[in-house]
Amino acid sequence: MNIRTAKEEDAERLLGIYTPYITDTAITFEYEVPSIGEFRQRINNTLKKYPYLVAEDENGNLVGYAYAGVFKGRAAYDWAVETSIYVKQSEAGKGLGRLLHDTLQKELQQMGILNMYACISAPRGTDPYLTDNSIQFHSHLGYRIVGRFAQCGYKFNRWYDMVWMEKHIGAHTEKVKPVSFIDNTNEDFATSREGSLNKVRITAVRQTIYPDLMEKYENPIEHTCDMAEGQQWISVDGKCPNGMCPSAWGAMREFVESLAKGEGDFYDGWMKNPMSAMISCNDGFRPFSFFIEVME
């Protein structure tokens, strides 16, 4: 799975992902399906300041997208964004949402964003058009509910609540650096982000081989991949290798990028080695880790 910056020409396919959420669900409070031209303009407007990412499978199909936008228009709110994630309904439950979110979070952190917010419609009991899945999804990602507005949205002849969820992704210091807004529509910038990574080998190994390291790792990744001891994947130019679980890839992608660039500044609980790293994972049946190394 490849995560890349959206382009205006992606509008029609992305609108195809979004349309069922408008017509068949209360996940979005939008009533009418926008035109392709309007949707294209929305993408372009977002890219002038914030990341707008798409998930592209090995066949070139777009299967999801995520983006950030203005939280409030005043300058004091620059360090906060509102986020949105949409996955093709047939691809739901496969880890794409987390992959998109984690990639988006990383780009926002690089900009200097400190707060991520999600505005989520919420059902008032059992509902044929809406569940609490989005709230649960964001909770698993580290968000917390900071507000709930009762009966503020009306769709399909019924009233819905709206929930605000918040996640802090940086330190709130007295002296804070300005946010580095980047025009993603700039062709030079877009080109500089492509093809910048070297080949990286990823190998599945049992956690018991590295018990000391695993004791330090406090947040194992949970997913349901069918993996085998010694199984290997090759990542080229930062793309998710074929056959790798998107959830595992989403968690390790930033480390793959660091290794490919010759950087070794990993988070606590990781081996601080400029050429390799370990990542912990539990596939639901047996504990696994991944050994990640740059290929010569």
Q: What is the pLDDT of residues 247-275, one digit of tens each?
A: 667 767 777 776 666 554 443 333 333 33
Q: Tell me whether residue 259 is exposed, middle or buried, using C-beta atoms within 10 angstroms of its C-beta: 0 to 12, 13 to 18, 19 or more.
A: buried
The pTM for the full model equals 0.67
Neighbours of 13 (CB within 10 A): 17
The pLDDT score that the predictor gives to residue 10 is: 95
What is the DSSP pairing of strand 276-282 with strand 221-222?
A: parallel
Mean of all residue pLDDT scores within the chain: 79
Residue 225 has pLDDT above 90, yes or no: no
Between the CA of residue 111 and those of 80, 169, 170, 178, what are the distances in Å? 11, 11, 11, 9
The pLDDT score that the predictor gives to residue 21 is: 96
The pLDDT score that the predictor gives to residue 295 is: 63
Minimum mean pLDDT range among 98-112, 113-127, 246-260: 246-260
Q: Look at 69 and 259; give whichever has higher pLDDT.
A: 69
The pLDDT score that the predictor gives to residue 266 is: 40
The pLDDT score that the predictor gives to residue 129 is: 96
- What mean pLDDT do residues 35-63 have? 93
Q: What is the pLDDT of residues 140-181, one digit of tens each?
A: 999 999 999 999 999 999 999 999 999 999 999 998 889 988
Structure tokens at 25: 């669900």
Residue 223 has pLDDT above 50, yes or no: no
Q: Which residues of 182-193 are buried (b: 16+ CB within 10 A; e: fewer)?
A: bebbeeeeeeee
The pLDDT score that the predictor gives to residue 253 is: 73
CA 152 – CA 75 distance, rounded (Å): 27
Structure tokens at 243: 């056959």
